């Protein structure tokens, strides 16, 4: 892979995102965290500069969908504000089912509103009793004539209360396990749809995370994505392509913390010299930078493979690897950044304590890292590498 796989046009967009992040979003980051209010001004900034468009094809009002460029944008924004980076990541997550399995009519109806940022999207899979075990979901969708009637609830839904469009997974075949799950589009204005408690959180405080309820929620039968029973397969295809976005968020947090810790260590003096010149601190910084760069190589490779149309086991494996490694690096690097700042790292006046809190969730949502390790190991077990051992005694 090239050291910088971006085209000239993509570099221009990256530089725009980097400038917006530095000049417009960074000054807001601490306040967003302090108030825990959803940053509509950041959404408006993204709309103004057509940043949502990088997620969508030109035929739907986008700039030409590129997973690699989307990952770069999420990374750049997350360097200064993980909440703001998540806005782009979840817009992709919430609309991928439509892009992958929707009809032309469905795409034409909803994707232009998402590409412009007029509407925000959300992805509703997790329930109070089913996180990693999707087959245990209890939300049901019952067909009645030309409608489906949804009943049940979802939990830990990012963008709850601010999204206008939800990709919802529900059982159309109770008792059929994964094969009984179907996918639907639900608009927030639909009667019977209700947003419940918005959770107070340790990190990404400006992002809404909440419960949603379906109480005899009637939607047109045309809101079914794909066919009945295909919901689990659609959900997994979505996650293969969206999990790297969480990796990009983690990488951005890690690189932002590294950059801040480096500048601090160059200016903070002890024993007559900057602490960056002390071997132990210098060694920590070197490890932080190396791990960020390694994570970036894995993440960008994943983005390129998605753009090249790679699907199936190869994508599943590298997607899980990218999410796992980038988020683990985020947690390790931000913890070390706090350590380098010492007492200052532990107080809210400095951003690294926020970065450390924000980093933790990247190891949990869109599949815990324990699940990612299971996925990677499962795919490895399917591979035949015996030829590598030929001739080895």
Q: Which domains does the chain have, with CATH numbers?
A: 8-116 (1.10.540.10), 121-229 (2.40.110.10), 232-386 (1.20.140.10)
Is pLDDT above 70 for 393? no
* Among the listed residues 278, 293, 249, 204, the one whose alpha carbon sits nearest the alpha carbon of residue 92: 249
Q: How confident is the model over 260-280, as pLDDT tens digits?
A: 999 999 999 889 999 999 999
Q: Are strands 165-171 and 121-124 parallel, antiparallel or unpaired?
A: parallel
pLDDT averaged over every residue in the chain: 95
User: By the 8 A CB rule, do 265 and 285 touch?
Assistant: yes
- Rounded mean pLDDT, 54-67: 94
Give the ranges where the chain is alpha helix by DSSP (H): 8-20, 26-35, 40-48, 67-78, 82-101, 104-116, 231-267, 279-307, 313-341, 352-362, 369-382
Alpha-carbon separation of residue 320 from 170, 285, 316, 356, 380 (angstroms): 24, 26, 6, 22, 12
Is pLDDT above 70 for 3? no
Cα 80 to its chain centre, rounded Å, is 16
Confidence at residue 136, expressed as pLDDT on a 0 to 100 scale: 86
Give strand pairing partners of 148. 143, 219
- Residue 307 CA to residue 125 CA, distance in Å, equals 25
Q: How confident is the model over 11-29, as pLDDT tens digits?
A: 999 999 999 999 999 999 9
Is pLDDT above 90 for 227? yes
First to last CA, the chain: 34
Give strand pairing partners of 181. 171
Confidence at residue 129, expressed as pLDDT on a 0 to 100 scale: 82
Q: How confident is the model over 286-338, as pLDDT tens digits?
A: 999 999 999 999 999 999 999 999 999 999 999 999 999 999 999 999 999 99
Is pLDDT above 60 for 1? no
Confidence at residue 392, expressed as pLDDT on a 0 to 100 scale: 66
Q: What is the dihedral of CA 100, 102, 105, 110, to 10 degrees?
A: -80
Confidence at residue 4, expressed as pLDDT on a 0 to 100 scale: 76
Write out the catalytic residue numbers: 366
Of the pLDDT bands very low, low, confident and very high (cuts 50, 70, 90), residue 346 is very high
Q: How confident is the model over 359-392, as pLDDT tens digits?
A: 999 999 999 999 999 999 999 999 988 776 766 6
Confidence at residue 150, expressed as pLDDT on a 0 to 100 scale: 98
Confidence at residue 133, expressed as pLDDT on a 0 to 100 scale: 79
Mean pLDDT is lowest, of 135-139, 163-167, 280-284, 299-303, for 135-139
């Amino acid at each position: 892979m090239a050291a910088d796989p971006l085209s000239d046009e993509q570099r221009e967009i990256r530089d725009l995102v980097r400038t917006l992040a530095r000049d417009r979003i960074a000054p807001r980051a601490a306040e967003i965290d302090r108030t825990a209010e959803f940053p509509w001004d950041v959404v408006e900034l993204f709309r103004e500069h057509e940043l949502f468009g990088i997620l969508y094809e030109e035929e739907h009002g986008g700039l030409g969908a590129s997973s690699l460029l989307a990952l770069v944008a999420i990374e750049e924004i997350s360097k200064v504000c993980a909440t703001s980076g998540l806005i782009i990541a979840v817009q992709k997550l919430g609309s991928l089912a439509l892009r992958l399995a929707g009809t032309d009519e469905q795409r034409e109806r909803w994707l232009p509103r998402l590409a412009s940022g007029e509407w925000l999207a959300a992805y509703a899979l997790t329930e109070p009793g089913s996180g990693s075990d999707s087959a245990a979901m209890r939300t049901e969708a019952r067909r009645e004539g030309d409608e489906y009637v949804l009943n049940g609830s979802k939990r830990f839904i990012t963008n709850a209360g601010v999204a206008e469009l939800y990709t919802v997974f529900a059982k159309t075949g109770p008792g059929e396990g994964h094969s009984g799950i179907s996918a639907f589009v639900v608009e927030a204005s639909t009667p019977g749809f209700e947003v419940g408690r918005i959770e107070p959180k340790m990190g990404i405080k400006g992002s809404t995370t909440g419960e949603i309820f379906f109480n005899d929620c009637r939607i047109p039968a045309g809101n079914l994505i794909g066919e009945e029973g295909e919901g689990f397969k659609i959900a997994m295809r979505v996650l293969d392509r969206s999990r790297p976005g969480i990796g990009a968020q983690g990488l951005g947090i890690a690189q932002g913390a590294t950059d801040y810790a480096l500048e601090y260590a160059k200016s903070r003096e002890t024993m007559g010299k900057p602490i960056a010149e002390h071997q132990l601190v210098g060694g920590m910084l070197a490890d932080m930078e190396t791990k960020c760069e390694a994570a970036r190589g894995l993440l960008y490779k994943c983005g390129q493979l998605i753009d090249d149309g790679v699907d199936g086991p190869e994508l599943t494996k590298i997607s899980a690897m990218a999410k796992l490694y980038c988020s683990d690096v985020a947690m390790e690097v931000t913890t070390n950044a706090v350590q380098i700042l010492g007492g200052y790292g532990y107080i809210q006046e400095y951003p690294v304590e926020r970065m450390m809190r924000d980093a933790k969730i990247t190891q949990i949502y869109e599949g815990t890292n324990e699940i990612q390790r299971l996925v990677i190991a499962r795919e490895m077990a399917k591979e035949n590498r015996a030829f590598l051992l030929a001739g080895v005694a």
